[in-house]
Amino acid sequence: MNDRPVMIKASSVSKWFGSHHVLDSVSFEVRRGEVLAIIGPSGSGKSTLLRCCNGLETVSDGIIEIEGEIFADVRKGKAVKIPKDQHFIMAKKIGMVFQHFNLFPHKTVLENVIEAPMIVNGMDRKSAIIMAESILKKVGLYDRKDYYPSKISGGMKQRVAIARALGMNPDIMLFDEPTSALDPELTGEVRNVIKSLASDHMTMVIVTHEMDFARNVADRVIFMDEGRIIGNAHPDQFFEKQDHPRIRAFLQKLSDR
């Protein structure tokens, strides 16, 4: 893994919301084809960290590099200006899936997938449809392509959201608690799609509350607490030989439930 190119690199990233210190000098990197799971208690800054990686949140301090190029660089309150077109090219390498799907309700499943490739990448409708249909087949929703989001289940919605992100042909996929808004019996289908992406060697960062999922799919697990990364290890190491008391307490509490 260590010889592969670094896809995302965060160096001493900090984030304040007002006086609230959400991220406290966080550093990590993700290599090509690697699946990174971020776990930790609510409010520990997991989602914020993820959102900093695609520019949905600005960083207050620190550096984020995407495939070796500076994506965000703020030092002592001074942001280095990244040229717009350069920023756009980097941002396009990243796809994101949200906890609440955020599908476009006025567009059908197929239209959700072809929208951005058409208007952002200038793809013609015909090729966009061919591409979208093959992605929808992959996530098992080809037969629902003409449904509106309101007419399909939560698990299907999340699979559409994944298809929509894949439509932009990203190098990296970010997942912000992709199964947290789903009924337990619907999480499996979403997990399976993510697993199939992992076996296709998609680089992924997944914020999750599902420990079994993190253990099964991730190559590495990061644990965040109060805006800091306090654990970073291979899942076997992380779950079996955990020696950090705070993390052990967290895992213990979850398994007691």
Partner 1 sequence: MFHYILDVTAFIMTGCVFTLKLYAVTIVFAIPLGILCALLKISRYRSLRWPVSAYTWIFRGTPLLLQLIFFYYGLVVFGISLQPFTAAALAFVINYGAYLTEVYRAGIESVDKGQYEAARALNMSYPQTMRRIIIPQVVRRTLPPTCNEAINLVKDTALVVVIGLGDILRAAREIFTRDFTIIPFVIAACIYLLLTIVIVFLFKQIENRYKVYE
Residues near partner 1 (CB under 8 A): 54-56, 88, 91-92, 94-96, 98, 100, 102-107, 115-116, 119-120, 148-150, 161, 164-165, 168
**Closest to partner 1 by CB, 82 or 91:** 91
- Give least dist CB 66 to partner 1, A: 13
- Give least dist CB 53 to partner 1, A: 11
**Closest to partner 1 by CB, 148 or 239:** 148
CB atoms within 10 A of CB 67: 18
Distances (CA, A) of 8 to 62, 150, 155, 203, 249: 13, 35, 28, 10, 30
Q: Is 239 exposed, middle or buried (0-12, 13-18, 19+ CB in 10 A)?
A: middle
- Give least dist CB 145 to partner 1, A: 14
- Give least dist CB 133 to partner 1, A: 18
- Give least dist CB 161 to partner 1, A: 8
**Closest to partner 1 by CB, 150 or 199:** 150
- Give least dist CB 242 to partner 1, A: 33
CA distance 234 to 222: 9
CA distance 237 to 131: 40
Sheet (strand 172-176) strand order: 94-97, 172-176, 203-207, 35-39, 220-225, 228-233
> Which amino acid is residue 196, in one-letter code?
S
**Closest to partner 1 by CB, 139 or 221:** 139
CA distance 170 to 91: 9
**Closest to partner 1 by CB, 159 or 220:** 159
**Closest to partner 1 by CB, 98 or 223:** 98
Secondary structure (3-state) at 76:
coil
